[in-house]
Structure 1
Amino acid sequence: MRFITPGKIYRRFLYGLMAFVMTIGIGMATPQPSHAGIFDLIFNGIRVYQLSNISDRQEVQLGGQINQQLLNSGEFRLYNNDAVTSYVNSVGQRLVPASDRPNLPYRFQVVNDDAVNAFATMGGYVYVTTGLIQAASDEAELASVLGHEIGHIAGKHALKQMRQVAIAQGITGALGVNRDRLVNIGVQVALQLPASREDEYEADQHGFETLGRAGYAQSAMVSFMQKLVRRGSPPEFLSTHPNAQNRVERLQTMLNESAIAEADDGLSESAYTANIQPLL
């Protein structure tokens, strides 16, 4: 049997205490993926640095709350026509299996607005205006826009923007941000903040590849953007950086170098006109 002197007991206690303090310090300094439910995170406060690491389920639940706030805010109203809404959703759902995040429960909603615009928030929520639907010449052009927005969701761009906004607002403490403020930041990101140059290029890349894998003509993505640029004043989703013409040229290069055999599905103007007839 080994005898332990009081000095040794003290030293062991001291070393143990130091190790415990270091472990706690490392745990607090390192962003940890959260395994709690999203409601626990929201009501108890979520650390800003955890936003990039939330699970798909948590992202979908947060996106659903932001979607509800968007609908309740009065900023826009949905277009009330089942035929058009169902058609747009069917085009979007065709793209989902070919996307980079096919396991999310995507929802494609039509906003009653003459402006040519589209946007997305996290968790699979995509919005497209009646004005954009009318501006497209065929289904492939509409699909190219929906594919681009799916690309933003694939890249988790809204979550990254929310994190940046929260940090800019000084929300970096251990208590994090409460539910209402988090949702309000999500609404702000969806409606007001442009994506970065890198995010737009990445969404273009995702959308272009998704379009081809789904069997749509990838040339429609180029033609639709060219059409909008020729109009003079680019719509909101093209007016942010990078320059719209630069995006067109980059997409044209991607089309020329695409390894996917060029499809021609979705190019019938008459079929498209029949599907969006209530808007005409």
Structure 2
Amino acid sequence: MSNIPRSHRPWFYPLITSSVAIGVVVVAPQSAPAAPLWELLLRGAQVYQLYNVSDKEEVQLGKQINQQLIGEQFQLYNNARVNNYIDRIGQRLAKNSTRPDIPYAFQVVKDDSINAFATAGGYVYVTTGLLKAADNEAQLAGVLAHEIGHITERHLIEQMRETAIARGLASAAGLDESTAVQLGVELALRRPNSRSDEFQADARGVQTLGKAGYAQVAMINFLEKLRSQRSVPTFLSTHPATGDRIARLEKIIDSQQANRGQGLNESYYQAQTQPLN
């Protein structure tokens, strides 16, 4: 990820037209193969611009990315009891996040791998494998809170902007809808997670976890459990060194308060997720 501060990035120009959906403006530093503005206007194309995108536009983009992911890339786990339980946990966390005013969707993906990820506009995904790996609700909540942290900080939008610039996909008009959605899908599946983004998501996540009333130590406990496994789960392999994440979390979390909070009852969690077994 680029280290150039956002305030010093010069690749944007204002654009106002009733025919184009305005969100974030991105201009490539060299000629781009994207369709020119007049062509986009003539065909009435939706245009996503990736600088200062509105909540409404991000939610719409996330919805379109989700439509591409579900069915084509992932199969949702079909059990109302488990899905409702995960959604309740996620919504509780979302309300206590730094960005509670967008709709959130928490979806369970049928996959034995231990993984979770987020896209844009409130869409969070967690695998059945991760649900089985968690010992209690607080551990699962820690994972969901971390993914919510990616959304509150708009990490996918930032990566889309930088990737579009690097590949010369953006023009003064921005990215057409199809290109933006496909780029979002690609990054969701194979996103290069920067250390700074992951540490920031951890910090936001543990803050949200505590505010929602969960025991914050659970986030550390789950990372330690996964680190001890013989093979490295996907959830860890695409992130910074687990030891570094644990060390940072231990500095953030008040040791006197770490074990205080809800969600540590293992038998209750097993009962709620029993259909997975």
Q: TM-score range by the shorter chain?
A: 0.7 to 0.9
Q: SS at the partner of 1:119?
A: strand
Q: SS at the partner of 1:237?
A: helix
Superposition TM-score, scaled by structure 1 size? 0.82
Unpaired runs of at least 5, structure 2: 1-9, 24-39
Cα displacement (A) at 1:269: 0.3
Superposition TM-score, scaled by structure 2 size? 0.83
Cα displacement (A) at 1:29: 6.7
Q: SS at the partner of 1:222?
A: helix
Equivalent residue in structure 1 for 2:129, among 94, 119, 131? 131
CA contact (8 A) 2:50 2:161 kept: yes
Partner in structure 1 of residue 203 of structure 2? 205
In the alignment, the residues of structure 1 paired with residue 176 and residue 136 of structure 2 have an alpha-carbon distance, to the nearest angstrom, of 43
Unpaired runs of at least 5, structure 1: 1-27
Describe the superposition over 1:114-162 as per-residue Cα deviations: whole angstroms up to 9, x where unpaired. Answer: 0000000110000000000000000000000000000000000000111
| Structure with the largest fraction of helix | 1
Cα displacement (A) at 1:240: 2.4
Cα displacement (A) at 1:44: 3.4
CA contact (8 A) 2:85 2:272 kept: yes
Counterparts of 1:255-270 in structure 2, within 5 Å, are: 255-256=253-254, 262-270=259-267
Partner in structure 1 of residue 151 of structure 2? 153
Q: SS at the partner of 1:217?
A: coil
In the alignment, the residues of structure 1 paired with residue 219 and residue 108 of structure 2 have an alpha-carbon distance, to the nearest angstrom, of 20
What letter corresponds to residue 194 of structure 2 in structure 1?
A: S
Structure (1 or 2) with the larger CA radius of gyration: 1
Counterparts of 1:25-174 in structure 2, within 5 Å, are: 30-32=12-14, 44=45, 46=47, 50-73=49-72, 75-174=73-172
In the alignment, the residues of structure 1 paired with residue 20 and residue 171 of structure 2 have an alpha-carbon distance, to the nearest angstrom, of 19
Cα displacement (A) at 1:39: 5.3
Cα displacement (A) at 1:97: 1.4
Cα displacement (A) at 1:172: 3.1
In the alignment, the residues of structure 2 paired with residue 37 and residue 57 of structure 1 have an alpha-carbon distance, to the nearest angstrom, of 17
Partner in structure 1 of residue 219 of structure 2? 221
Partner in structure 2 of residue 176 of structure 1? 174
Equivalent residue in structure 1 for 2:230, among 190, 213, 232? 232
In the alignment, the residues of structure 1 paired with residue 174 and residue 60 of structure 2 have an alpha-carbon distance, to the nearest angstrom, of 18
CA contact (8 A) 1:34 1:54 kept: no
- Structure 1 residue ranges, 4+ long, deviating more than 3 angstroms after superposition: 28-47
Equivalent residue in structure 2 for 1:272, among 266, 269, 272? 269
Q: Name the % identity.
A: 50
In the alignment, the residues of structure 2 paired with residue 133 and residue 233 of structure 1 have an alpha-carbon distance, to the nearest angstrom, of 17
RMSD: 2.4
In the alignment, the residues of structure 1 paired with residue 173 and residue 182 of structure 2 have an alpha-carbon distance, to the nearest angstrom, of 17
Describe the superposition over 1:237-274 as per-residue Cα deviations: whole angstroms up to 9, x where unpaired. Answer: 2212421111112112222468x675230000000000
CA contact (8 A) 2:20 2:46 kept: no
Cα displacement (A) at 1:193: 1.2
In the alignment, the residues of structure 2 paired with residue 207 and residue 34 of structure 1 have an alpha-carbon distance, to the nearest angstrom, of 36
In the alignment, the residues of structure 2 paired with residue 30 and residue 239 of structure 1 have an alpha-carbon distance, to the nearest angstrom, of 35
In the alignment, the residues of structure 1 paired with residue 20 and residue 264 of structure 2 have an alpha-carbon distance, to the nearest angstrom, of 42
Q: 1:70 to 1:262 in 2, by over 3 A?
A: same
CA contact (8 A) 1:37 1:58 kept: no
Q: SS at the partner of 2:106?
A: strand
Describe the superposition over 1:207-238 as per-residue Cα deviations: whole angstroms up to 9, x where unpaired. Answer: 00000000000000000000001113322222
Equivalent residue in structure 2 for 1:253, among 251, 254, 270? 251
